[in-house]
Structure 1
Amino acid sequence: MKILLVINPISGDSDKESLIHSIKQRTSSKIEIFRTTGKDDIKKIENLIATHDFERVLVAGGDGTIKLVAEAMEDQSLPVGILPAGSANGLAYDLELPIEQEAFINVALGDKKKEIDAIKINDQLCLHISDLGLNAELIREYEQGAFRGKFGYALQTIPTLFNTEGPHDFTIHANEKNIHRRGIMLAIANSKKFGTGAMVNASGKIDDGVFELLLFKKLDVFEVLKTLTKDAQLSPEFLEVIPTKKASIQTLKKVDFQIDGEYCKALQHVEAEILPKKISVFVR
């Protein structure tokens, strides 16, 4: 058995060498290690998969790294073992993977799998949550900052809130209706939680063939604090949820946009469509 281990060296603040050592201790399989550089990573992973007989792919990084690997496997069907090692690990939260290193390695090397949906957004895949507006602004500032991990996010939160470019005007076509809304953020969600663990989409399921548009209408500290509770019931004055399989989103001006924790760019138009049972992941 051969395993491809994809590592994002700069994700989060975890010790990747210790992780590699622990994986090697728990399997006798041959491991091919690929470290992302931000340059032609998808093409390089595609070539590795095409020229090797891998049984599975392990991904050490955050949601963005998992997304990158999923895009590289567009025409493949290798199952993915998630090793949560990002600044935010929203997909791992949603799949209820353990946070202890020994435990999540055991899951990634195990046999129990689950097929999950993806969302095709413009020309990219989304496995977790994408958004236009406030959160994308925060990720933009974080990526330009000097600090990684949750501390880096926290450091950028206050200045981003004070300097946000919102609210924004959104025109949404979904479920054969045109909807005009104004808000500080519009999320395209395939799951329940942000990478911080904040519960924003209580009815969301990662394998139900539907995604949700989440319109956050205003900044409300009390409602934001409620997202940190397990069974958060958010006010409709704060959040509007639109379940759909396909959506087209237009803005009056360019708005910052992110996919799975990776800043893309400011844009005015987004096309989103569900891709049911797109990828197989190991679960406990």
Structure 2
Amino acid sequence: MKKKYLFLLNPKSGTARKEPLITALHERLRFESDLRYEICYTTYAGEGRKLAAQAAQEGYFAVVAIGGDGTVNEVAASLLDSATALGIIPTGSGNGLARHLKIPLQPAKAATYLLATQRSAIDVGAVRIGNLVRYFFCTAGLGFDAHVSQLFAQNPQKRGLKKYASLVWQEFATYQPQTYQVWLENQTEAQLLEAFMLTFANAGQFGNDFYISPQADITDGKLDFCHLQKLSTWQAYAFAWQTWRKRAYKNTKLHISQIQKARICSEIPQPLHLDGDFIANVKEIEVEILPKKLKVLFGS
């Protein structure tokens, strides 16, 4: 029986033109006699989720997200607990999960890579906000990075690393640490943490090869809980360098522990991001790891 692949493309993700990519994809796939494939453009937010869920119900071998971290998150969330695997052809600005899994960033090479791999299971992070559950695959966080993500989302016409970096340095001088009540694992009493940033890392990086916790393992059934204290300007430069060089764990302002679940509360609503996308301002969340919840095409 031929394997069925559904390629979902977000035409608004990234800055590259999509027509050459689709042409190259057709050229690459038309010689594969043991598979069937479809390529669909998503036309509105949430359509990728709907089409991926339908493909999983119909027994597709894989749904391949062509886009950035937002597209990947949307598709992946619809494939949990199914036999259908997530594939990624990265065309976004951050490409956090693709980079962590060492999927080639060139679309043609990524397509060839995906066809040569099998399905492997990875862990998934879940965040409960009231009665709503949302998922993340790389990182989720409260604090400064979520604040920047919120501002970034307010101007969708200007994307990319340059714009993001500009916002980081613009906001750093005025953003103040926030106080959180934190329950880790089964603690009955809360810790009071003053934090510049609280990050839950399933994978090691935010995207663009900036690693908050380079030793994070996406298959170990754990989340790396990263508590970053306020940094001076020079410390911030050093920390940025360390995240790029996979040495953030050496910074004395960053504290990392491994957990399976947590509850976070704040008196003032705080911005929350999942995989770099701003979700909402929240006063309370519960976070947990869901081991081996998603099948992904990666590895050799």
TM-score by length of 1: 0.91
TM-superposed deviation, 1:150: 1.9
| Residue aligning to 2:123 | 117
Whether the 8 Å contact between 1:2 and 1:32 is mirrored in structure 2 is no
Aligned residue in 2 for 1:8: 10
Give the deviation of 1:173 after TM superposition.
Answer: 0.8
Gaps of at least 5 residues in structure 1 are none
RMSD of aligned residue pairs (Cα, Å): 1.9
Secondary structure in structure 1 of the residue aligned to 2:211: coil
Does the CA-based 8 Å contact 1:64-1:259 persist in structure 2?
no
Deviation at 1:249, TM superposition (A): 0.8
Contact 2:124 2:202 in 1 (8 A): yes
Distance (whole Å) between structure 2 residues aligned to residue 83 and residue 217 of structure 1: 35
Q: Distance in 2 between matches of 1:109 and 1:75?
A: 22
Structure 2: unaligned runs, 5 residues or longer:
31-35
1:212 aligns with 2:232: no
Alignment deviations for residues 222-252 of structure 1 (CA, whole Å, 9 cap, x no partner): 222221114444223x111121111111112
Alignment partner of 1:43 is 2:50: yes
2:239 alignment counterpart = 223
Partner of 2:98: 92
1:36–1:276: structure 2 CA closer, same or farther, 3 Å change rule? Answer: farther
* AA of the residue aligned to 1:226: Q
Match of 2:74 in 1: 68
Residues 69 and 240 of structure 1: is their aligned pair in 2 closer, same or farther, counting only changes over 3 Å? same
Tell me how far apart the structure 2 counterparts of residues 14 and 202 of structure 1 sit (CA, whole Å). 29
Distance 1:156 1:187, change over 3 A: same
Cα offset, 1:170, TM superposition: 1.3
Question: Identity percentage over the alignment?
Answer: 26
Task: Output one character per residue of 1:227-281: Cα deviation in whole Å (capped at 9) or x when no partner.
Answer: 1114444223x11112111111111211111101211011111111111111111
Deviations, residues 162-200 of structure 1 (Å, cap 9, x unaligned)? 342x31111111133332210111011101111121121
1:69-102 Cα distance to aligned partner (Å, 9 max, x none): 1222245220111111112111112112222222
Aligned to 2:33: none
Match of 1:142 in 2: 152
CA distance in 2: counterparts of 1:40 and 1:26, whole angstroms: 26
SS at 1:42's partner residue? helix
Separation in structure 2 between the aligned mates of residue 77 and residue 34 of structure 1, nearest angstrom: 23
Q: Which residue of 1 aligns with 2:178?
A: 168
Change (3 A) 1:231 1:224: closer
| 8 Å Cα contact 1:67/1:126 also seen in 2 | yes
Alignment CA distance shift 1:233-1:44 (3 Å): closer
Structure 2 Cα separation of the partners of residues 243 and 114 of structure 1: 23
- 1:250 paired residue number: 265
Please give the residue correspondences for 1:127-206 in structure 2 after superposition, counting only pairs within 5 Å.
127-145=137-155, 146-164=157-175, 166-177=176-187, 178-206=190-218
Aligned counterparts of 1:40 and 1:191: Cα–Cα separation in 2: 26
Residues 3 and 44 from structure 1, CA distance in 2 versus in 1: closer, same or farther, beyond 3 angstroms? Answer: closer
Deviation at 1:159, TM superposition (A): 2.2
User: d(CA) in 2 for partners of 1:253 and 1:4?
Assistant: 43
TM-score (norm 2): 0.87
Secondary structure (helix, strand or coil) at the match of 2:172 reads: helix
Moved more, 148-157 or 208-217: 148-157
Distance in structure 2 (CA, Å) of the matches to 1:42 and 1:113: 20
The answer (yes or no) to whether the contact 2:149–2:278 under 8 Å persists in 1 is yes
